[in-house]
Amino acid sequence: MRNIIRWACLAAAIAMVPLADAAAETASNYSWRTVPWGGGGYVDGFVYHPKVKDLLYARTDVGGANRYDFATRQWVPLLDGLSHADLDMIGVFSLALDPNDANKVYLACGLYLGQWGPNAVVLRSDDQGTSWAKTELPFKLGGNADGRGAGERLQVDPNQGSIVFLGSNQNGLWKSPDGAKSFAKVGSFPSSNITLVLFDPNSGAKGAPSQTIYVGSGEANGGLYVSRDGGATFDLVHGAPAQTPQHAVIGPDGFLYVTFAAGDGKSKNEINPANVVNGGVWKMDLKTGKWEQITPMRPGGGAPAFGYSGIDVDPTHPGTIVTSTIDHWWPGPDEIFLSRDGGNHWLPLTSVSYHDKSRFPWLERDVQVTNAAKDQMGSWVSDVKINPFNPDEMIYGTGGGVWMTRNLTAAGSGQRVKFDFADDNLEETAIIAMVSPPGGATLLAAMGDVGGGGWDDLTKSPAAATLFPTNESHRSVDVAWLKPGVIVRSADNKPYGYYSEDGGLHWTAFPSAPPYTAQDSRGNWRTIGPIAVSAGGTSMVWSIPHDPAYFSFDKGRSWTASVGWPQDPDATLIPIADKAVNGVFYVHDRAGGQILVSADGGKTFTSMIKGIPPVAGWQGAELAVAPGRLRDLWLAGPFGLLHSGEASAPLAGVKDVEEAWHIGFGKAAPGQTYPAVFLSGKIKGVSGIWRSDDEGKSWVRINDDVHRFGDGGILTGDPTEYGIVYVARGSGGIVVGRPAK
């Protein structure tokens, strides 16, 4: 059953920033809070401040950056203020701190390297990430590209904080002389693919720039380079393996420690976190230049190859090192090793550790993150760090989140090293579909990679009984609006679909599925499509990419192709069930510029509304139907927002809405009969998350400039309590908002 959310305990009211646009009003205040799942994505880098206690940052590939609050043991998201236009910045390629100024933080941001993506930026903050200034770069960075777990590639000179170096994926090494306000390319560096930058803090005169800089190359056979004149010239460091450097650190014992990995050549040697065929751990005596291999474990006995990635030292105990494997799948997953004698002997931490998964039930069911039958470190362990002020504290990231121990020094003593899933308020799930039913669960979500599930209590990670299989991506979840105990969902893995008749407490796999293969005739990967269930729960329509949709009247025992379903080679079309009348479905034909309707449970579809501007497959467009009203359609798209409120009415543009990305509905406002309409989009030049209580005649912006959440991903209102809205924040999980009282 639904729980009443006690907002006084959940969040304080957040004052809204007024808009100058008088035509689009701003709510007086709204409160926002994360809906907890816990992790769920790839956390690929950590930076402790070397001189200030209890100052720790984490970066993610698609979920922004976070600062850890040691007092509350929660993460503070630092990029919730990004607008829709700035969403590319959620891919944090590298993170740097100024060793001599605890308030300065730098982020190198950009998601993808393709020509279709925007250029990268460097964000700089003077208040630990509370506010940011932006420097645009003339090239792209791949925060979500292969190789993103290496680093750090962004570094501040420990002797002169105005100097910042940045290594790029494919455009070489860059230098800023003015605290990242501007950058110029370092022409002396011979490689275009940089994997790490490291200053030697002991080089250079007092107050003068550091002279010794190590830079890793990810090209050809890799290689580690060094400059001893502040970056004016670079030479290859001889004696190191011909592999790609992943991470490096200078220890208090006078050694440079470096992890290496070699790729299979499939990804231009960008090998972290995948495509690894070899690797190792090496150290170099900084006085003599002599190298020594100290690799803890090497492939053998027929086991697949793997490399090494994370490495760190305890600055208070010379010779204490931790390092992690990467791409070690069998007998895997990855391992973290501890040495207390400079790498002469190693202890695999799996053998002496315990991972506490009790607060996040989804972990118990995720065989990729940790196997419930055997304690494991997890996979994609790209970075591992020891707290420089506390040798008991070590943190590392996986493809599913963050683990932290606070008793590392117990390793080898007979006492177990306990790891907590330290992901409170660090959310990195990709929300693919979301619904708040009129009865039963408060919220249901389908997620990429980790399945999804349902919440009855919005203050806790979902209970085990409500979880979908968490080792796969789910593509949809839908509720029979007039019979909300009936829920359906689709997933990438066989049997591809499930239904529940008790509100999601128990699930049954469909006995069969429509014809579907994960690869098309050209060998391209395609995911299963979304499924919709009729308002009364008697029929279902399932969309198969580039094929007809299929309908079923017998709980998935048989599926028959729908007649008249439109074809689109570039997009997966989404069936929508009417929420007022059983057996009625709609679909937006993007390429054909029309909306089709089925009144026979999905058997046949016929054109109902034509003349809609065509939408390309890569562009967003979202069709929705208002609950409780027959054929009351809304269409969000790059053309704005269209509405048809009556069965005989054409679609008409909603005034002042210039762009519409997502739309949802909630309980009507007091004194109103029409559901509250929630919109992520742009109204009169202002992008935001909006609410209308009068069928779109007027709008109120409900997010503020601190809590923009990329101005909203998919969203849905709560049908049982006015004003509540659930919003996907990019790949940062779900936030819930409500008018503050």
Residue numbers annotated as active site: 61, 449
Cα–Cα distance measured from residue 86 to residue 77, given in angstroms and rounded to the nearest whole number: 16
Mode of pairing for the β-strands spanning 417-421 and 353-356: parallel
In 3D, which of 254, 260, 300, 296 has the Cα closest to residue 276?
Answer: 260
Q: In 72-201, where do the E strands start and end? A: 74-77, 92-98, 101-109, 121-125, 133-136, 154-156, 164-167, 173-176, 184-185, 194-199
Cα–Cα distance measured from residue 30 to residue 726, given in angstroms and rounded to the nearest whole number: 13
Phi, psi of 376 (to 5 degrees): -140, 160
Phi, psi of 299 (to 5 degrees): -60, 145
What are the distances in angstroms from CA 327 to CA 73, 308, 349, 415?
29, 8, 17, 29
Cα–Cα distance measured from residue 154 to residue 313, given in angstroms and rounded to the nearest whole number: 20
> What is the DSSP track for 207-254?
TSPP--EEEEE-STT--EEEESSTTS--EE-TTS-SSEEEEEEE-TTS
- The sign of the CA dihedral 683, 689, 692, 696 is positive
Sheet holding 65-69, edge to edge: 43-48, 56-60, 65-69, 74-77
Helix (H, G, I), strand (E, B) or coil at 89: helix
- The sign of the CA dihedral 35, 533, 437, 80 is positive
What are the distances in angstroms from CA 458 to CA 186, 507, 714?
50, 22, 18
Residues with Cβ < 8 Å from 60, sequence gap 6 or more? 41, 42, 43, 44, 66, 92, 428
Cα–Cα distance measured from residue 547 to residue 521, given in angstroms and rounded to the nearest whole number: 12
Residues with Cβ < 8 Å from 546, sequence gap 6 or more? 520, 526, 567, 568, 569, 572
- Matching residue, tokens 């005739």: 521
In 3D, which of 314, 319, 434 has the Cα closest to residue 50?
Answer: 314
Mode of pairing for the β-strands spanning 700-701 and 25-26: parallel
Phi, psi of 238 (to 5 degrees): -80, 150
- The sign of the CA dihedral 130, 131, 137, 140 is positive
